[in-house]
Amino acid sequence: MQAFLKWLNENFVPAWKAVSILLTGAFGILGLVKDFKEKKLDPMSETKVERITKWGWISMVGIIVSTGLGVSAQLKESHDTSVQTLSTVNEIKKILSPLDIASVMVRAKMSCETDLLQAFCRDHEDASGRAKLELWPQFFDRIQVTVFICDSIESLTGDIVRSHFDFDVFGSTKYEKSEEPTNTLAPGSDGQNVFLTINGKPIRRSNDGKLRSIDDLNGKTIAVMESGYLGLDINDVQIVTSNAQRIRPNKLNKAQKHWFRGYYGIIEFEQNQ
């Protein structure tokens, strides 16, 4: 029975069109062989009046049911057509706005109380205010962060890891002047914290193919963690697409569960985006 109902739901319009042709022919034949009205004597007025026969009532009910179902079939066909059109428009929109990530920017800070950062925080600028990058600990010359895009943070902190898209980003303290985007990590300090901006090209690790366009990111969770157990306090992450569109989560929260030690937030596009 369930299989029949499923088939009927999927094939209601073509099935009803075929049935309506049969009903139209049946009612036409019925009108030829049966009388829908008959004259009877009215005992009150003693005059003959026309009354609908049994076959007339059957024909009337059939026409009403047939018309009602015909209207329903037309409405369903119109709805299916609009849904198909919307789906086609969305597919075209995805083709025109592919998920092509050009770079990723991660902002973070570290406390100056860390032994490796004390000298840099104390004497990180010369008299002209330029940063003394030679004081930057060699241990931090290349910082790696991993970015995940998933349905929710539970996808990363549960027993089974489910990530649609994840990749690595590397940062370096060396300032390189080039027309091409380079991986740079720009340090700065206020005497209490060291502020880092990691801006680099993503090195793809895995992609399940479910995220094909920018619109697919709406409502997804973006999570980021650094891979060196440095204790970075990450406060912002931005994805920059090839058409210079910046995508970022609404707010970053900290999560520490199972293997994941990092920050996450939900990507929410504005209505007019």
Average confidence (pLDDT) per 10 residues, the chain, 273 residues: 69 72 76 72 70 80 78 78 79 74 86 75 57 60 84 86 84 45 56 78 83 87 84 88 87 89 88 47
Q: What's the confidence (pLDDT) of residue 220?
A: 93
Domains of the chain, by residue range, sit at: 2-96, 101-266
For position 10, what pLDDT does the model report? 67
Instruction: State both tokens at 119.
Output: 């000298």
Inter-residue contact 53 to 38 (CB < 8 Å): yes
- Residue 86 has, within 13 A of its CA and on its CB side, a CA count of 6
The string of DSSP letters for 195-214 reads: EEEEEE--EEEEE-S---BG
Per-residue tokens: 249: 């989560």
Q: How many residues does the chain have?
A: 273
Q: Which pLDDT value is given to residue 28?
A: 74
Whether this prediction's pTM lies above 0.75 is answered by: no
For the chain, the distance separating the N- and C-terminal CA atoms, rounded to the nearest angstrom, is 45
Place of tokens 């198909």: 84
Q: Which of 6, 3, 155, 14 is nearest to 77 (CA)?
A: 14
Other CB atoms within a 10 A radius of the CB of residue 99 amount to 19
| Spatial distance between the Cα atoms of 187 and 110, rounded to a whole number of angstroms | 10
